[in-house]
Amino acid sequence: MTARDTDWDGVRLHVVTGKGGTGKTTVAAALALALAHAGRKVLLIEAEGRQGIARLFDRPPLPYAERKIAIGPGEADDGRDAGGDVYALAIDPEGALLDYLQMFYNLRGVGNALNKLGMVDFATTIAPGLSDVLVTGKATEATRRRQAGSPSGFAYDAVVLDAPPTGRIGRFLNVTAEVSGLAKVGPVRAHADSVANVIKSPQTAVHFVSTLEEMPVQETLDGIAEIRSIPGMQVGGIVINMAQPAMLSREELKAPPDLAAMAAALTEAGLHSTDALASELADELAGHARHIELADRERTDIEAAGQPVYELTLIPEGIDLAALHRLAAELRDQGAA
Amino acid sequence: MTMTTNPQLDVDRIIDDRRIRIIVCCGSGGVGKTTTAAAIGLRAAERGRQVCVLTVDPARRLAQSMGLSSLDNTPRLVEGIDDEAGGSLHAMMLDMKRTFDEIVEAHSDPTRAAQILANPFYQSLSSSFAGTQEYMAMEKLGQLRRSDEWDLIVVDTPPSRSALDFLDAPERLGRFLDGRLIRLLTSPVKAGRPFGRMLNAGFSMMTGAMTKVLGGQLLRDAQTFVTAFDTMFGGFRERADATYKLLQAPGTSFLVVATPEPDALREASYFVERLAEERMPLAGLLLNRVHSAGSCRLSAARSLGAAETLETMISNGPLATDSATHDTVAAQTVSAAALRLHASRMNLGERERRVAGSFMSAHPAVPVVEVPALPDDVHDLAGLRRVGETFAVQR
């Protein structure tokens, strides 16, 4: 066990959302890895059936079953720490429905018949909100699940949910509101209420992933306002993803470069036609300076939201398992896990 | 510079082709679909067409960039475009509940319409069913096309879980409304059952299970809804079929939008294959936010090597005690940083070429246009116009 405090010590269900294209699934996977230290067992859930997690971890498509897919990092300063385990689960609403029937009504046998009738179609795609309740239901069930003999008493020490994009997150999580028009009483309502008991509690935090661009930042701020407006729900951290590191200090970036001196330096470095090269490189540098300036402005807006902010550096080569571990380490170093 | 041997997608040729009446922009979330649709709409209007842009994305900034404080379910005229060529631009945002309500009102007598609109099941279905938005987008598209007020409609698809939901939702809703489940749901409240005794027993077992799972009240609401809705089913199905056929017609052109990222191009691949299966006319792929190498051709390896040489000089060189040395070191520092930046740009470009290359080799006949990454977001018509200019083929 490590005694290190993190920003989310009481949180057991980490919901990760973000605008499309911001790397939400990557961040969810990195967070799961970061949480899986000191023998802790973490479940990473994919809610949208894209099999993005399988691809990230270079595995064949995940079934509707909890499978171990990675080992978390051990801690160098603690000889006893052998790292933890990351399990993964890809939830599809159909599987969740059959699961739900089995768990609460012992009705798995009728699944096939229901399917033929279009009942599964109905419950998972037509009936408004039911599919969300089923998916969040599975995530909260895994969060609450007890296991005798585990140090915490729970089957998983933490659950990370790769949730729908920011534009749909409020509706996705606010299950009670979603089904309230539909089911004021009855089993669907009871199920929604038990889901809400976990989601609208300090056990759950909703983290937002954004890049330092105008539209994703705006969506993040809108999403945060939406989550804050739902009583009982807790906004978590904001993860700035794919941040481009500044190549020079802000002052150096502002000053127009001396082209002649640059050309001389490039010649010294063994390059040719350095006059043209210096001006081409200076143009690229000016573009970079502009990008950093815009990113700084977006960062200020993100910080003004008043939530803990974590920043992950752009990995230009693309994301593989090694890159995920790097991102997990960055999250750990910054106190997110 | 282009990275492939795929044919070049000529957006202007599509825009200028008066036989093309609908352009559908599709692709996964976050690739710039909505902006692309708006930029194409503006460009087409300024080239003389009567355009309506139908968006499902409530991006406020985009509305503002077209000079509209907000978009609603009615096409609004966009002021300030260059109308020298005789074109015009309207824009609207889909309000799925309003659209659904209008269909109900148009297809049933006032009493029955009121009954349906007040039903809790209908209210949930019309405002939050995950497929309703897709269905209503198709419905609205059909309405706009039939009104014949515009000679070009540009539509961007809803931010679905998968880009394919857009094509599947109408079929799914249709299947549900026509399906056995509906008959099962309605059977207890209809007079007389058409089923034999054995089937009947099976069905009551099923209804029992459903009551257990869904709850009696939910089931009753659904039944009431379905019964009231019964007369409209045929019309619904017909409309969905008509819109689907419209999408297969030669006057429609699908534009798949993607960024040079593996996930976005995987979705684009699925979409291209699906469109071929459904015999829907694909215009091509708009590859958005490509980081072009620029004019500097220095390789990443040479660039990094030179940066390291300079960095060694800086750390081994004399301390900057006089201003001349200080200036030299400053120039070396700036040059090394610029070289590293250039190397990472070249690497990024290389990676994008590789990722895009695998799409191209899988779909060698799909026309492609590359659109460079722009540093700023779009804030006004001028910005939207600039985006449109990047679609034009460099001749």
Q: So what's the pLDDT on residue B69?
A: 75
B335/A52 touch (CB, cutoff 8 Å), yes or no: no
**What average pLDDT does the segment B234-250 reach?**
79
**What average pLDDT does the segment A108-112 reach?**
64
Highest mean pLDDT among A109-118, B26-35, B118-127: B26-35
**What average pLDDT does the segment A121-144 reach?**
79
Q: Is B280 helix (H, G, I), strand (E, B) or coil?
A: coil
Q: Which of B61, B165, B218 to mutate to probe the A interface, most A CBs <10 Å? A: B218
In chain A, the percentage of residues whose pLDDT exceeds 90 is 63
Q: Does A165 touch chain B (CB under 8 A)?
A: yes
pLDDT digits (tens, 9 = 90+) for A209-262: 999 998 899 999 999 999 999 999 999 999 999 999 999 999 999 998 999 999
Quick one: angle between helices B381-391 and B33-46, nearest 10? Answer: 90
Q: Which of A51, A131, A281 to mutate to probe the B interface, most B CBs <10 Å? A: A281
Q: How far is A65 from chain B (nearest CA, A)?
A: 21
pLDDT digits (tens, 9 = 90+) for A59-73: 999 888 999 999 987
B212/A110 touch (CB, cutoff 8 Å), yes or no: no
Q: Is the pLDDT of residue B198 over 50?
A: no
Residue, of B169 and B25, whose pLDDT is higher: B25
Q: Is the pLDDT of residue B97 over 80?
A: yes
List Cβ neighbours of B322 (8 Å cut-off, separation of 6 or more). none
A281/B313 touch (CB, cutoff 8 Å), yes or no: no
Q: So what's the pLDDT on residue A151?
A: 87
Yes or no: say if B221 and A182 are a contact pair by the CB < 8 Å rule: yes
A109: number of Cβ within 10 Å: 10
**What average pLDDT does the segment B210-230 reach?**
72
Q: Is the pLDDT of residue B191 over 60?
A: no
Q: So what's the pLDDT on residue B164?
A: 62
pLDDT digits (tens, 9 = 90+) for B25-83: 998 888 989 899 999 999 999 999 999 999 887 677 778 888 777 778 899 999 999 99
**What average pLDDT does the segment A133-140 reach?**
89
**What average pLDDT does the segment A15-19 reach?**
95
Q: How far is B306 from chain A (nearest CA, A)?
A: 5
Q: So what's the pLDDT on residue B265?
A: 94
**What average pLDDT does the segment B255-280 reach?**
91
Q: Does B120 touch chain A (CB under 8 A)?
A: yes
Yes or no: say if A219 and B57 are a contact pair by the CB < 8 Å rule: no
Q: Lowest-pLDDT range, A17-31, A65-79, B138-152, B192-206?
A: B192-206
Mean pLDDT estimate for chain A: 88
What is the rounded CA–CA span in Å between residue A236 and residue A45?
Answer: 18
The structure tokens listed for A227 are 């989550």
List Cβ neighbours of A244 (8 Å cut-off, separation of 6 or more). A212, A288, A291, A292, A295, A314
Q: How far is A1 from chain B (nearest CA, A)?
A: 37
Q: So what's the pLDDT on residue B368?
A: 95
**Which ipTM did the prediction report?**
0.84
What is the rounded CA–CA span in Å between residue B255 and residue B92?
Answer: 20
The confidence band for B170, taking pLDDT boundaries of 50, 70 and 90, is: low
The structure tokens listed for B290 are 């490509």
**What average pLDDT does the segment A103-114 reach?**
67
The confidence band for B200, taking pLDDT boundaries of 50, 70 and 90, is: low
B218/A165 touch (CB, cutoff 8 Å), yes or no: no
What is the count of residue pairs from A and B with beta carbons less than 8 Å apart?
A: 222
CA-atom Rg of chain B in angstroms = 28
A20/B333 touch (CB, cutoff 8 Å), yes or no: no
Q: Does B356 touch chain A (CB under 8 A)?
A: no
Q: Does B306 touch chain A (CB under 8 A)?
A: yes
In chain A, the percentage of residues whose pLDDT exceeds 70 is 88
Q: So what's the pLDDT on residue A57?
A: 93
Highest mean pLDDT among A61-70, B120-129, B258-267, B334-343: B334-343
Q: Does B280 touch chain A (CB under 8 A)?
A: no
Judging contacts by C-beta atoms under 8 Å, the chain B residues touching residue A127 are 124-125, 129, 214, 222
The confidence band for B201, taking pLDDT boundaries of 50, 70 and 90, is: low
Q: So what's the pLDDT on residue B194?
A: 44
Q: Does A287 touch chain B (CB under 8 A)?
A: yes
Given the DSSP bridges, would you call strands B76-77 and B368-372 parallel, antiparallel or unpaired? unpaired
Q: So what's the pLDDT on residue B197?
A: 44
* Candidates B31, B131, B218; nearest CB to A182: B218
What is the rounded CA–CA span in Å between residue B370 and residue B9?
Answer: 9
The confidence band for B190, taking pLDDT boundaries of 50, 70 and 90, is: very low
What is the rounded CA–CA span in Å between residue B91 and residue B12?
Answer: 20
A186/B216 touch (CB, cutoff 8 Å), yes or no: yes
Phi, psi of B26 (to 5 degrees): -130, 165
Q: So what's the pLDDT on residue B54?
A: 92
Q: So what's the pLDDT on residue B196?
A: 41
Q: For residue A108, give the nearest of A96, A123, A90, A118 by alpha carbon.
A: A96
For the whole prediction, is pTM greater than 0.90?
no
Q: Is the pLDDT of residue A183 over 90?
A: no
Window A:48-107, CB contacts with B under 8 Å: 48-50, 52, 55, 100-101, 105, 107
Q: Which of A215, A218, A251, A296 to mutate to probe the B interface, most B CBs <10 Å? A: A215
Q: Which of B121, B187, B213 to mutate to probe the A interface, most A CBs <10 Å? A: B213
Q: How far is B324 from chain A (nearest CA, A)?
A: 11
- List the beta bridge partners of residue A161: A15, A45
* Candidates A49, A284, A291; nearest CB to B294: A284
Q: Lowest-pLDDT range, A20-29, A105-114, A141-150, B113-122?
A: A105-114
Residue, of B82 and B186, whose pLDDT is higher: B82
Phi, psi of A18 (to 5 degrees): 175, 160
A252/B125 touch (CB, cutoff 8 Å), yes or no: no
Q: So what's the pLDDT on residue A75?
A: 62
Q: Is the pLDDT of residue B392 over 90?
A: no
The residue ranges of every structural domain in chain B are 11-294+360-391, 300-359
**DSSP class of residue A108?**
G
pLDDT digits (tens, 9 = 90+) for B311-343: 999 998 777 678 888 889 999 999 999 999 999
Q: So what's the pLDDT on residue B68?
A: 78
Yes or no: is domain A13-247+296-333 CATH 3.40.50.300? yes
Q: Does A275 touch chain B (CB under 8 A)?
A: no
CATH class held by domain B11-294+360-391: alpha beta
B181/A185 touch (CB, cutoff 8 Å), yes or no: no
